[in-house]
């Protein structure tokens, strides 16, 4: 760590003194509003040069306080360490900066208490907008922000008090399930697939389940309740669920719908245990994408959520001002691993 050499940082007043002018003028020059104020170009250049020489850095806190606008856009996010959420964070940052906003992303581990605490923190830092990604209780956060006059937008999981940009989970899941069932029925009698991962209580899982069932119904198939394992998102939960399924004496279906790469990790680990069946006999589909997972299982189909389009849509909502509360669904993109 380098030591503080200058106790106090350079301010507009320091620059004003050095330039033989006033703080008002310095501020106007530095903000580019000097033309509007009809400040002479000579003085403007002079001030600019001095600011550079002094390595002047604007104090955004002070500006924000005065302007009552921080220029900050906040995002709460369940976690960074899977490809879906990390690409959301990365794309969000890029797009925010491209629009002159300063992005602050905060991880909340799918914990409602942390989500609320993070939202409070971001409000204290005067965010101008808050994006709630995969929030367990987005409406609670919308209410909190609304009381502070801060607009919110939901991403990934919808809410009822703010516009929501989410994947088209129903259509995506139906398409994915069709593919799984078709592959599983090659050289075998058609039979229901297994659904694993996610929370039965969350909107996306419910919609994907609906798509899963719709694809079955098209083929005159009907999964039993025990073939729906909404065991949560954690990898270990998925592995445990599979063990329980087999321990209960159920035969493993040929088709497997995995609801997120997080669950997929647990599923594949389970199949790699010495006494597990061969993964090669299973027709796999996964809602969400990961480049290594895609290469891991021949013929796996992964529904890549279209993060780019989702975030472009989100920023369009922000830019258009105060849009009505509605839900926009963005189709995910199917990607297929090398066929077996």
Chain residues that interact with DNA, rule: CB under 7 A: 8-9, 11-13, 20-25, 27-28, 30-31, 33, 37-40, 43, 58-59, 62-63, 65-68
- 76 contacts 118 by C-beta, under 8 angstroms: yes
- State yes or no: residue 338 binds its own copies (CB under 8 A): yes
Cα–Cα distance, 159 to 153 (Å, whole number): 9
- State yes or no: residue 32 binds its own copies (CB under 8 A): no
Kindly tell me which residue out of 305, 318, 329, 332 binds its own copies, with binding defined by CB under 8 A: 318
**Residue 102 CB, nearest approach to its own copies (Å):** 6
30 interacts with, out of DNA, its own copies, none, CB within 5 to 8 A per kind: DNA
3-state per-residue secondary structure call for 212-259: HHHHHHHCCCCCCHHHEECEECCHHHHHHHHHHHHHCCCCCCCEEEEC
**Binding piece for its own copies, criterion CB under 8 A, among 31-39, 41-49, 240-248, 286-294:** 286-294
7 interacts with, out of DNA, its own copies, none, CB within 5 to 8 A per kind: its own copies
Q: In the sheet where 102-107 sits, what is the strand order? A: 102-107, 72-77, 129-133, 152-155, 164-167, 327-330
Q: Which is nearer to DNA, 44 or 166 (CB)?
A: 44
Q: Which is nearer to DNA, 62 or 340 (CB)?
A: 62
**Residue 154 CB, nearest approach to DNA (Å):** 27
**Residue 171 CB, nearest approach to its own copies (Å):** 26
252 interacts with, out of DNA, its own copies, none, CB within 5 to 8 A per kind: none
Kindly tell me which residue out of 14, 17, 93, 137 binds its own copies, with binding defined by CB under 8 A: 93
**DSSP-based three-state secondary structure for 328:** strand
**DSSP-based three-state secondary structure for 5:** coil
Cα–Cα distance, 301 to 291 (Å, whole number): 12
Tokens of 150: 């801060």
- State yes or no: residue 149 binds its own copies (CB under 8 A): yes
- State yes or no: residue 132 binds its own copies (CB under 8 A): no
Q: Is 221 exposed, middle or buried (0-12, 13-18, 19+ CB in 10 A)?
A: middle
- State yes or no: residue 322 binds its own copies (CB under 8 A): yes
67 interacts with, out of DNA, its own copies, none, CB within 5 to 8 A per kind: DNA
- The CB density around residue 23, as the number of other CB atoms within 10 Å, is 14
**Binding piece for its own copies, criterion CB under 8 A, among 27-35, 43-51, 139-147, 241-249:** 139-147
Ramachandran class of 282: left when φ > 0, alpha when ψ lies in -120 to 50, beta otherwise: beta
Contacts of 319 (CB under 8 A, 6+ apart): 99
43 interacts with, out of DNA, its own copies, none, CB within 5 to 8 A per kind: DNA
- State yes or no: residue 140 binds its own copies (CB under 8 A): no
Cα 174 off chain centre by:
22
Q: Which is nearer to its own copies, 91 or 191 (CB)?
A: 91
- The CB density around residue 109, as the number of other CB atoms within 10 Å, is 11
Q: Which is nearer to its own copies, 251 or 274 (CB)?
A: 274
- State yes or no: residue 281 binds its own copies (CB under 8 A): no
Kindly tell me which residue out of 125, 188, 243, 308 binds its own copies, with binding defined by CB under 8 A: 125
Q: Is 69 exposed, middle or buried (0-12, 13-18, 19+ CB in 10 A)?
A: exposed
């Amino acid at each position: 760590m380098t030591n503080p050499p200058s106790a106090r940082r350079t301010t507009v007043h320091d620059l004003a003194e050095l330039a033989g002018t006033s703080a008002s003028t310095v501020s106007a020059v530095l903000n580019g509003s000097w033309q509007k104020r009809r400040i002479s170009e000579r003085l403007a250049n002079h001030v600019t040069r001095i600011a550079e020489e002094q390595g002047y850095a604007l104090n955004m806190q002070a500006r924000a306080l005065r302007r009552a606008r921080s220029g900050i856009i906040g995002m709460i996010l369940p976690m960074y360490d899977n490809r879906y959420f990390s690409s959301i964070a990365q794309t969000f940052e890029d797009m925010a900066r491209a629009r002159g906003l300063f992005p602050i992303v905060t991880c909340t581990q799918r914990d409602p208490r942390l989500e609320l605490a993070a939202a409070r923190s971001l409000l204290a830092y005067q965010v101008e907008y808050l994006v709630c990604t995969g929030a367990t209780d987005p409406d609670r956060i919308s209410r909190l922000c609304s009381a502070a006059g801060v607009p919110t937008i939901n991403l990934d999981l919808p809410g009822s008090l703010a516009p929501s940009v989410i994947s088209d989970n129903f259509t995506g899941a139906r398409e994915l399930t069709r593919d799984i069932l078709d592959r599983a029925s090659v050289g075998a009698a058609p039979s229901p697939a297994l659904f694993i991962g996610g929370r039965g209580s969350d909107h996306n899982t419910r919609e994907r389940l609906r798509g899963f069932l719709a694809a079955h119904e098209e083929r005159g198939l009907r999964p039993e309740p025990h073939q729906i394992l909404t065991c949560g998102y954690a990898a270990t939960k998925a592995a445990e669920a599979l063990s329980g399924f087999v321990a209960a004496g159920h035969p493993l279906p040929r088709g497997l719908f995995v609801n997120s790469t997080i669950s997929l990790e647990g599923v594949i680990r389970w199949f790699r245990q010495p006494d597990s069946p061969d993964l090669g006999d299973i027709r796999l589909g996964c809602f969400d994408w990961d480049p290594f997972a895609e290469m891991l299982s021949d013929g796996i189909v992964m529904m890549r959520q279209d993060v780019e389009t989702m975030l472009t849509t989100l920023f369009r909502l922000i830019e258009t001002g105060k849009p009505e509360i509605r839900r926009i669904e963005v189709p995910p993109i199917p990607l297929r691993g090398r066929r077996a």
